[in-house]
Structure 1
Amino acid sequence: MIQLEPISGVFNRERALQATYPMRMLIVREGSGFLCMNSGDHELLEKRIFFIPEEGLVRLDGRIKSGYWLNFSSMLYAEFLLQHLDPLAKNLFLNLSYRDLTPQESIKTYSLLDQLKKEIDAKKDLRFLAQYLSLFLGFTAGLDGYLAALTLDELQQVLRFRAILDQYYREERAVQFYAEGMGMSVGKLNKFLDRVLGKSLTVLIKDRIMREAEELLLHSDFSVDQISRILGFEQTNKFLTSFRRHKGISVLQFSRLV
């Protein structure tokens, strides 16, 4: 579903880069030359990150001293689109596009890629990797503006928390579980989340559950009883009450609105 490998060396346009999955990114830390596509040649400038469309061979002509070649499945990209409704997100891989990172963004990007590589090599759960990748894309594309203001350590902590939350929110409601996963006390984690995200752990868990509830109500054929069970509610009435409190309207009213 996802491959991430360091890339370096001298390349000529006679040989295309290989990718197992259709969504492709080239992250150049140090390099010179060109990325060659059917649409034309594009400079391999330092600290440049390319978002490469599904169609077309990727050829390099030049030298990369340090970089990363990332490719991943459409399914993982779909998770990113669920969280980023901005039209820029949908168009990110339609045509070849790139973004030049600031020195600070570049440092953060490579640190996140190093950590993502460790998570992939450790064979982390696919939902964990999907959430990590989604936030990484949001950061590198400049869509998650609040992430840019965080320190590298804070950024890594936010990505790890979101990945853990997305992996376990259906089964785990206990704040202690997430605190242990983050290696923090409940108090320290709550203080951190309130500072960087403006919400408590309990609220973030409920928000994630209700976001999934909305998605299932909108885009699945499951009954309300089935959705209730999927989301870990012992009784449908508890789900209905929680939904009303969260949205301010009933499940029935929400379904009629859409």
Structure 2
Amino acid sequence: MIHLEIIKGRFKKDKALNAEFPIRLLVIKEATGLLCMNSGDYVLSPGRVFFIPEEGIIRLEADVTSAYWLSFSGLLYSEFLLQHRDAQSRNLFMSLSFKDLTNIQAQKAFTLLEQLKREILAKRDVSYLAQYLSLILGFSAVLNAELMDLNVDELQQVLRFRAILEQYFKSERSTEFYAAGMGMNSRKLNAFLKKAFNKNLPELLYARLIREAEELLIHTDYSMSMIAEILGFGQANSFVSNFKKTKGISALEFRKIN
């Protein structure tokens, strides 16, 4: 589902760059030359991140000292799309695009990729790898302004929080629970979440619950009572009112138009 390797050497345009999976990311650490596609040739430069669509053969005419070649499946990519629903995110891999990271941002990206390589080798579960991939894509595409100001340790804490939230959002609501999972007190957790996400814990919890509710409303025929129970709401009325308050339409209306 995901493959990451460090590539280096002299590459000739007559040989395509192979990928294990259809969606691809090329992160340049140090290289000179060109990335060549039917749409044109693109200069390789340190800190440049290429977002490569499923269609299209990739060829390099380059001397590569070090670059990260990452490919992954649509299943892992779906977590990123669920977390980033704006048009810029949805179109990230529609055609070849790239971002140029600053030296500091690039060093953070390299560190995250090195850690991802270790996580892959450790055979971490799919949900964890999906969270990690989503973090790397959000960071390298400069989609989350708050993330860009975080140091590497804080970015790792973001990943830890997302993993805990993903496991317990249906059953746990208290700040104390998530603070304990993060090894922080409640005050420190709230300050960290505000810095990393510009949101507090209740906002993040309900955003995740509503996201899950949308999936259940679209892909199942569960009743409102059943969805409320799955998501840990005490009563169906509580779920229905929270959904309408967040989305601006009722859950039934949302189901009809989707």
TM-score of the alignment, normalized to the shorter chain, above 0.5: yes
Aligned counterparts of 2:8 and 2:78: Cα–Cα separation in 1: 29
Aligned counterparts of 1:230 and 1:125: Cα–Cα separation in 2: 23
Gap regions ≥5 residues in structure 1: none
Aligned counterparts of 1:68 and 1:55: Cα–Cα separation in 2: 20
Please say if residues 190 and 200 of structure 1, whose CA atoms lie closer than 8 Å, have aligned partners that are also in contact: yes
Number of equivalences: 258
SS at match of 2:130: helix
Aligned counterparts of 1:41 and 1:252: Cα–Cα separation in 2: 49
Residue matched to 2:53: 53
Alignment of 1:79-118 (within 5 A): 79-118=79-118
Aligned counterparts of 1:177 and 1:69: Cα–Cα separation in 2: 38
Residue matched to 1:193: 193
Alignment of 1:1-258 (within 5 A): 1-233=1-233, 236=236, 239-240=239-240, 243=243, 251-252=251-252
SS at match of 2:7: strand
CA shift in 2, pair 1:55/1:233, >3 Å: same
**Residue deviations 1:43-91 (CA, integer Å, cap 9, x gap):** 2211111111111222222221121111111122222222222222222
Please say if residues 132 and 162 of structure 1, whose CA atoms lie closer than 8 Å, have aligned partners that are also in contact: no
CA shift in 2, pair 1:88/1:251, >3 Å: closer
Cα RMSD of the aligned pairs, angstroms, is 2.7
Aligned counterparts of 2:257 and 2:94: Cα–Cα separation in 1: 31
Quote the offset at 1:144 in angstroms. Answer: 1.4
SS at match of 1:99: strand
Letter in 1 for 2:131: Q
Please say if residues 128 and 167 of structure 1, whose CA atoms lie closer than 8 Å, have aligned partners that are also in contact: no
Please say if residues 16 and 58 of structure 1, whose CA atoms lie closer than 8 Å, have aligned partners that are also in contact: yes
Please say if residues 36 and 58 of structure 1, whose CA atoms lie closer than 8 Å, have aligned partners that are also in contact: yes
Letter in 1 for 2:163: A
Aligned counterparts of 1:196 and 1:76: Cα–Cα separation in 2: 23
Aligned counterparts of 1:127 and 1:6: Cα–Cα separation in 2: 24
How does the TM-score come out when normalised to structure 1?
A: 0.85
SS at match of 2:19: coil
Quote the offset at 1:219 in angstroms. Answer: 4.7
Answer with 188-197 or 52-61: which moved more. 188-197
